[in-house]
A and B are shown apart, each in its own frame.
Chain A
Amino acid sequence: MTVHATQEPGDTFIDDVLRGLEVRDVTAPHGERGS
């Protein structure tokens, strides 16, 4: 999975997401595990 993030200049949102977001248990629609 790819992530794009935007924020206001000077905001810390992107860094907060980079540090805090984790993606788990990805499952493709045909039942395979995602990558």
Chain B
Amino acid sequence: MRPDELERHLRQRLDALVPAPRAELLHVLMLPDFERAERIAEFWSHPQSRAFAAEPLRVSAGLIRCVRTRYLVLAFGVLVSAACAEPSGGGTPPAPPSTAVDAAAEGDSGFMPSTYVEGGSVVMPITFPDGTTAKLVYPPELDLSGMRVQPYSSGYGPGFARDFLVLDKPIDDVIGGYEQAELLADYGDGHGGTVGFWRLPPDGLYLAFQYGSWTVLVYEYAEEGAQMSDEDRALWATNFHGRDAEDGFLLLEAEPPLRLARAGEHAGPELGLWSRNGDSRALSLYAGECTPYGDEKVNGLTVDRESEDFAAWSCPMRR
């Protein structure tokens, strides 16, 4: 398998993970190189974290070996090249799956996108967190609007990058879903309000924002050496913004020096549609340019399908 193919497979696997494990893996990928090497080695040496990547996805043993091999090679190379660099203070064990996400999947209805019928098909307008809009057109039996919607994106500042866990319920419900939630600090948002910095066991540390009907949690590391500074967190509080779009989807914005990942960039804007029935049915939609990839043709689409439970393709757009 060529490196670019492996990278593509790895990214697809990461994208298909449930939010909390994926977030943890993305944090690893977004770390500075020498920190990443340390975390990668820790990740693969930790049975629980290795299991949450492999088990839900039933990743093939071959792919796991390839990925692990690549990561360990990368880790070794980076460690050698960073041998003279100051150690970063180590990492924290990967977080277990999110209880908040589990609760949302089990119970409330949350956000339900609006639809209309056109020529026997259902039309569902969607809006990505960056403002990209589109219409999903599908036969009624697919019932995509009945799935749970979960926007996703990430943001960057001077020397740090974090991705978001987005939940379709009020912040009080999210925080209240954690039995041992602890408010660690408050940061002024510049408009008379505050943004809480929370410890939410067992999921970790988060800055918590309420935007319209959505709660956006910005991840923070438990390990102090890997954390943003107090000023960095204050920057999120004042320069990170969001609201409900007209169709009710989440819109996110940031003011410099904070910047959100753009469509097509790593950890850029996407929409997840997740089964509410506890099964593995899910779609992840990625805004941005499409690059056909794969060796299978289905209904005119080029599809990459390496197993019976996962497929990736680029959607041709009708305008």
Contacts and interface: CB of A to CB of B under 8 A. Distances in A.
Contacts of B58: 9
Contact of B282 (A5, A9, A27): A5
B308 A10 contact: yes
A16 B142 contact: yes
Interface residues of A, number: 31
B134 A25 contact: yes
Interface stretch (B33-41, B202-210, B216-224, B284-292): B284-292
A29 B315 CA distance: 19
B317 A20 contact: no
Contacts of A10: 308
Interface in B1-40: 12, 15-16
Interface in A1-35: 1-11, 13-29, 33-35
A18 to B, nearest CB: 5
Residue of A1, A11, A20 most packed against chain B (CB within 10 A): A1
Given A18-B301, A24-B318, A4 B12 contact: yes
Contacts, number: 144
A2 to B, nearest CB: 4
A3 B132 contact: no
B303 A13 contact: no
Given A17-B283, A34-B134, A6 B319 contact: no
B103 interface: no
Interface of B: 12, 15-16, 57-58, 121, 123, 130-139, 141-142, 144, 263, 279-291, 298-299, 301, 303, 305, 308-319
25 contacts: A1-B315, A1-B317, A2-B285, A2-B286, A2-B315, A3-B285, A4-B12, A4-B284, A5-B284, A5-B310, A7-B279, A8-B281, A14-B311, A15-B298, A17-B138, A18-B303, A21-B138, A22-B138, A23-B137, A23-B318, A25-B317, A26-B132, A26-B319, A28-B131, A28-B287
